[in-house]
Amino acid sequence: MGSSSSTSLVSLLLPCLFSLLLLRLSTHLNPDPTAAAPRFKRTPPLPLRFRHDGAFKILQVADMHFGNGAATRCRDVAPEVGGARCSDLNTTRFLRRVIEAERPDLIAFTGDNIFGGSASDAAESLLRAISPAIEYKVPWAAILGNHDQESTMTREELMVFMSLMDYSVSQVNPPGSLVHGFGNYHVSIRGPFGSEFVNTSLLNLYFLDSGDREVVNGVKTYGWIKESQLAWLRATSQQNLHAPAFAFFHIPIPEVRGLWYTGFKGQYQEGVACSTVNSGVLDTLTSMGDVKAVFLGHDHLNDFCGDLNGIWFCYGGGFGYHAYGRPHWPRRARVIHTELKKGQKSWVEVESIHTWKLLDDEKLTKIDEQVLWRRSSIRL
């Protein structure tokens, strides 16, 4: 071999040898071989689908108002709840209790997941607030309320962050669509394995950003769902005409106020805090025809369900201990249970939708169970 060939070989080998040396040096400086390994999101089995018994259960968690964990005190609680020892950790314990009792297939966090004014680091607060869902490996979806962005992250940053968290099915916005806000997305629930609908959506979940605060004619008001969001919703619904659907958003629409006069099931204990702008959400949902129920947050002392144009509007009730509440009125969670009809050979379409609430008391008391929809009750 000539000297020029030897020189070429050495020039090729030197970078490789240098890289090996650096790798060896880094191992000595940091003996943990996984320290530099990339962290990948842990995802649930997708797409989401009904269980083998033909059921799908959603746990709604409304208004956790999480702050800084043990350092953040409870609000409006009775002395027997813990007094000075009561903190965000009570919220975490409640979420763990409900997950263990109900074993939900999905958790829907419907806004004000953190309370910005009390959260010194929004990302850290979110990680702590959502941690039980991740700990139990439960798929979860989240939307924003009017307080989440008051800490160290914008609404867009919060939705991006939540979409990247373990077991999250949250999305920032629908791809390819110009939609107002952040956190407008669709999740389909397909048929169970072994059924003829294994690749078909049998239940559709629409998540919408209802905003935070805005100014109209010089007057402050709460946010509302905009026309671009409703246009996306109508278009998405047109692709899923044969399956029932739920909608989830934080701030109620103005028509919910009228349920005081027409009837409701549950507690109506405070005024409905909605926008002064009526953007036509109820008319849109009514014309779509697939949405059977809407699940709300925002007003912590309301936990009722009421029927508007054949669509049930249901509050989750206040969940978090740092959120305002009422002494001797336990924090609560809502459960939404959907069951399929059994065909001759396998599960087929949705047959019924039930809901109830669980109280954070000694027995995790179940209250206000009701049927929201049955296929046999379709109005002609």
Q: What is the DSSP string of 79-132?
A: GGGTGGG-BHHHHHHHHHHHHHHH--SEEEEES--B-GGG-SSHHHHHHHHHHH
Per-residue pLDDT of the chain (380 residues; tens, 9 = 90+): 454 444 444 444 444 544 544 444 444 445 555 555 677 899 999 999 999 999 999 999 999 999 999 999 999 998 888 777 899 999 999 999 999 999 999 999 999 999 989 999 999 999 999 999 999 999 999 999 999 999 999 999 999 999 999 999 999 999 888 999 999 999 999 999 999 999 999 999 999 999 999 999 999 999 999 999 999 999 999 998 789 999 999 999 999 999 999 999 999 999 999 999 999 999 999 999 999 999 999 999 999 999 999 999 999 999 999 999 999 999 999 999 999 999 988 999 999 999 999 999 999 999 999 999 999 744 43
- On whether residue 2 sits in a domain, the answer given is no
For 16, the enclosing helix (H) or strand (E) is: helix 3-29
Residue 32's pLDDT is 58
- On whether residue 43 sits in a domain, the answer given is no
At 169, phi and psi to the nearest 5? Answer: -110, 10
Q: Residue 220's domain is classified under what CATH number?
A: 3.60.21.10
- On whether residue 19 sits in a domain, the answer given is no
Angstrom distance (rounded) from CA 64 to CA 135: 17
* Domain housing 151: 55-374
- On whether residue 23 sits in a domain, the answer given is no
- On whether residue 190 sits in a domain, the answer given is yes
Residue 341's pLDDT is 95
For 229, the enclosing helix (H) or strand (E) is: helix 227-238
Angstrom distance (rounded) from CA 329 to CA 321: 11
User: Strands of 201-207's sheet, edge to edge?
Assistant: 185-190, 201-207, 245-248, 291-296, 311-315, 305-308
**Residues 166-204 as b or e (16 or more Cβ within 10 Å = b):** bbbbbbbbbeeeebbbbbbbbbbbbbbeebebeeebbbb
Kindly report the pTM of this predicted structure.
0.89
Burial class (CB in 10 A: 0-12, 13-18, 19+), 215: exposed
- On whether residue 380 sits in a domain, the answer given is no
Residue 234's pLDDT is 97
Q: Is 194 left (phi over 0), alpha (psi -120 to 50) or beta?
A: left
- On whether residue 17 sits in a domain, the answer given is no
Q: How many domains does the chain have?
A: 1
Answer yes or no: are the C-beta atoms of 225 and 249 closer than 8 Å. yes
Angstrom distance (rounded) from CA 366 to CA 369: 8
Residue 10's pLDDT is 41
- On whether residue 217 sits in a domain, the answer given is yes
